[in-house]
Chains A and B, each alone.
Chain A
Amino acid sequence: MTVPLFDVLQQEFSQAGERTAVSHGVFVIELAPAQLLPTVERLQSAHAFDVFLDVTAVDWPDHELRFEVVHHFYSTTHKVRVRIKTRVAESSPAVATLRPLYGSAGYMERECHDMYGIVFTGNDDLRPILLYEGFTGHPLRKDYPKQFEQPLVPYRF
Chain B
Amino acid sequence: MYGKPLPVVSVPREPAGTFEFITTKKDELVGWARKFSLFPYPFVTACCAMEFMAVSASAYDTDRFGAALPRFSPRQADLLMIVGTVTQKQAPILRKVYEQMCEPKWVMAFGVCATSGGFYQNYASLPGIDKIIPVDVYIPGCPPRPEMVIDGIMKLQERIAQGRHPIINETF
Q: Which residues of A contact B (CB under 8 A)?
A: 130-132, 135, 139, 144, 146-157
- The answer on a CB contact under 8 Å between A155 and B131 is yes
- The answer on a CB contact under 8 Å between B121 and A151 is no
Chain B residues near A144 (CB-CB < 8 A): 123
Chain B interfacial residues counted at CB < 8 A = 16
> What are 30 of the A-B contact pairs (CB < 8 Å)?
A131-B89, A132-B88, A132-B89, A135-B123, A139-B122, A139-B123, A144-B123, A146-B121, A146-B122, A147-B121, A147-B122, A148-B123, A149-B127, A150-B88, A150-B123, A151-B91, A151-B131, A151-B132, A152-B88, A152-B91, A152-B92, A153-B91, A153-B92, A153-B132, A155-B132, A156-B130, A156-B131, A156-B133, A156-B134, A157-B131
Residue of B nearest to A147 (CB): B121
Judged by a CB distance under 8 angstroms, whether B113 is at the interface is: no
Beta-carbon contacts of B91-121 to A below 8 Å, as 1s and 0s? 1100100000000000000000000000001
Q: Would you give the shortest CB distance from A156 to chain B, in whole angstroms?
A: 6
- The answer on a CB contact under 8 Å between A153 and B123 is no
Judged by a CB distance under 8 angstroms, whether B55 is at the interface is: no
Q: Would you give the shortest CB distance from B101 to chain A, in whole angstroms?
A: 16
Query: How far does the alpha carbon of A33 sit from the alpha carbon of B88 in the complex, in Å?
Result: 35
Query: How far does the alpha carbon of A135 sit from the alpha carbon of B122 in the complex, in Å?
Result: 13
Query: How far does the alpha carbon of A149 sit from the alpha carbon of B131 in the complex, in Å?
Result: 12
Query: How far does the alpha carbon of A155 sit from the alpha carbon of B92 in the complex, in Å?
Result: 11
Judged by a CB distance under 8 angstroms, whether B124 is at the interface is: yes
Chain A residues near B133 (CB-CB < 8 A): 156
Query: How far does the alpha carbon of A7 sit from the alpha carbon of B131 in the complex, in Å?
Result: 58
Interface centre among B88, B121, B134 (most CB of A within 10 A): B88
Residue of B nearest to A145 (CB): B123
- The answer on a CB contact under 8 Å between A149 and B123 is yes
For the complex with contacts A156-B130, A156-B132, 7 further pairs of A-B residues with Cβ separation under 8 Å are A146-B121, A146-B122, A148-B123, A149-B123, A151-B126, A151-B131, A156-B131
Residue of A nearest to B134 (CB): A156
Query: How far does the alpha carbon of A112 sit from the alpha carbon of B126 in the complex, in Å?
Result: 22
Q: Would you give the shortest CB distance from A68 to chain B, in whole angstroms?
A: 22
Q: Would you give the shortest CB distance from A135 to chain B, in whole angstroms?
A: 8
Query: How far does the alpha carbon of A157 sit from the alpha carbon of B126 in the complex, in Å?
Result: 13
- The answer on a CB contact under 8 Å between B122 and A151 is no
Residue of A nearest to B133 (CB): A156
- Nearest first, the 4 closest Cβ-Cβ pairs linking A and B are A139-B123, A153-B91, A155-B131, A153-B132
Q: Would you give the shortest CB distance from B97 to chain A, in whole angstroms?
A: 12
Q: Would you give the shortest CB distance from B45 to chain A, in whole angstroms?
A: 15
Chain A residues near B132 (CB-CB < 8 A): 151, 153-156
Q: Would you give the shortest CB distance from A151 to chain B, in whole angstroms?
A: 6
Chain A residues near B92 (CB-CB < 8 A): 152-153
Query: How far does the alpha carbon of A109 sit from the alpha carbon of B32 in the complex, in Å?
Result: 56
Residue of B nearest to A137 (CB): B123
Chain B residues near A150 (CB-CB < 8 A): 88, 123
Query: How far does the alpha carbon of A144 sit from the alpha carbon of B122 in the complex, in Å?
Result: 10
Interface centre among A132, A153, A156 (most CB of B within 10 A): A153
